[in-house]
Amino acid sequence: MTLLTRRALTTAALAGTLLPAMGRAAAARKPIVIAHRGASGLRPEHTQLAYDLAIDQGCDFIEPDLVPTKDGHLIVRHENEIGGTTDVASRPEFAGRKATRTVDGQSLTGWFAEDFTLAEIKTLRARERLPQLRPANVRYDGQAPLLTFDEVVAIAKAGSRRAGRTIGVYPELKHPRYFASIGLPTEDRLVARLKAHDLDSATAPVFVQCFEVGPLQTLRGKTRARLVQLTASEGGPADRSDLTYAAMTSAEGLKAVALYADGLGPEKTQVIPQDADRLLPATSLVADAHAAGLVVHPWTVRAENYFLPAGLRRGDASAADYPAQAGDVEAVFKALYAAGVDGLFSDFPGLAVAARG
């Protein structure tokens, strides 16, 4: 048994998720901090640089987004379009791979992971996705190779040994309906990797998340790992035109979600709404989800003024870099924790840990 699995019960207890039925009591437990793509506010996302920093800052889980390569390996990128997060556009040998694809109804032009073998992907290097908001991260451009899911699990295990506590993984399946349509379904691939890493249990330090419904329902029959239905403040799952996220997060809708999922990952404004100026009182979503037996892990808390309401922005509003300056993000963390969430996603896990207290 590995260190990662020996301490799984401790991590599960922190998450309040030893059993789905314990969701009602989860608010009384210490909420987990999920490093969103690593410490992505401080290092280029989905790199070992970002994950190692997040672990050093005290996070409980690291999050990899998963897309497949041409030869079926699960790699870690926010989207299958990799032109915005790698140096592929500057690589003349790949100029002919530029293409236009329609993914979940959106037309995108760039370079796509599914057109590259893993060996080719491994020649690329990561770069900052939001250079205007995170200019300090640009100095790390070109330093980090792209990772596989297996490598992120290895980072979590190494981080567990280094930190003396369990670091879990929180993978997201990106666009599974689209990948299935091009002959690269991802559900079975992920299940195989979970089993290979001894993560196929309800007490393992892992959550699997997705915005779509069908893939989670499929996974429910293939793995015992905990599953999380992601939702947003607008729209609905790409694979269910008959559903909206608003309906899914109603008291009745949450009961339906609980038939196949262990948790809910709502957009943070579904828990703590905000207008242009300030945060608003909490909704009933956490209580409703707990009543359905679901834990609640909202996404994503970011520190930059750009992502905060006007009343929480700090610094010189006339400065050119005002949107990139840090605002009073502690107020957002505190409001979410006070609402009883069981954990949260942040690009700044160190700040999330500090606010948790």
| pLDDT value at residue 145 | 98
| pLDDT value at residue 17 | 37
* Res. 21 pLDDT band, cuts 50 70 90: very low
| pLDDT value at residue 14 | 37
* Cα distance from N-terminal residue to C-terminal residue, the chain: 32
| pLDDT value at residue 50 | 98
Give the tens place of pLDDT for each residue, 313-329: 999 999 999 999 999 99
| pLDDT value at residue 51 | 98
Give the tens place of pLDDT for each residue, 31-66: 999 999 999 999 999 999 999 999 999 999 999 999
| pLDDT value at residue 38 | 98
Closest CA to 342 of 273, 283, 287, 281: 287
Give the CA radius of gyration of the chain. Answer: 19
H or E element, residue 289:
helix 285-291
Q: What is the mean pLDDT of residues 97-124?
A: 97
Cα–Cα distance for residue pair 333/160, rounded to 1 Å: 25
Query: Quick one: tokens of 267?
Result: 């957009």
| pLDDT value at residue 103 | 96
In contact, 97 and 111? CB cutoff 8 Å: yes
Helix axes 48-56 and 149-163, enclosed angle (nearest 10): 30
Give the tens place of pLDDT for each residue, 150-189: 999 999 999 999 999 999 999 999 999 999 999 999 999 9
Q: What is the mean pLDDT of residues 221-227?
A: 98
- In 10 A of CB 299, how many CB atoms? 21
Closest CA to 108 of 47, 175, 45: 175
Give the tens place of pLDDT for each residue, 123-132: 999 999 999 9
Q: Is the pLDDT of residue 27 over 60?
A: no
Q: In what order do the strands lie in the sheet with 343-346?
A: 168-169, 61-62, 32-35, 343-346
- Return contacts of 78-81, CB within 8 angstroms, 24+ apart: 78/37, 78/45, 78/46, 78/129, 78/174, 79/174, 80/112, 80/113, 80/114, 80/174, 80/175, 80/178, 80/179, 81/108, 81/110, 81/111, 81/112
Q: What is the mean pLDDT of residues 131-144?
A: 98
The SS3 of residue 150 is helix
In contact, 208 and 176? CB cutoff 8 Å: no
Cα–Cα distance for residue pair 56/162, rounded to 1 Å: 9
Q: What is the mean pLDDT of residues 104-119?
A: 97
Q: Is the pLDDT of residue 20 over 70?
A: no
Q: Where are the beta strands (DSSP E) in 104-254?
A: 106-110, 168-169, 172-173, 207-210, 226-230
- Return contacts of 194-197, CB within 8 angstroms, 24+ apart: 194/223, 194/225, 195/223, 196/150, 197/150, 197/153
* Res. 29 pLDDT band, cuts 50 70 90: confident
What is the residue-averaged pLDDT of the chain?
93
Cα–Cα distance for residue pair 275/48, rounded to 1 Å: 36
Q: Is the pLDDT of residue 25 over 50?
A: no
Domain residue spans of the chain: 3-356
| Residue 1 vs residues 4, 5, 6, 7, 8: alpha-carbon distances, Å | 8, 6, 6, 10, 11
Q: Is 347 exposed, middle or buried (0-12, 13-18, 19+ CB in 10 A)?
A: buried
Q: Is 343 left (phi over 0), alpha (psi -120 to 50) or beta?
A: left
Q: How many helices (H) and strands (E) does the chain have?
A: 13, 13
CATH of 3-356, one of 3.20.20.190, 1.10.3720.10, 3.40.120.10, 3.40.50.300: 3.20.20.190
Give the tens place of pLDDT for each residue, 257-300: 999 999 999 999 999 999 999 999 999 999 999 999 999 999 99
Cα–Cα distance for residue pair 149/194, rounded to 1 Å: 10
Cα–Cα distance for residue pair 197/199, rounded to 1 Å: 5
| pLDDT value at residue 28 | 53
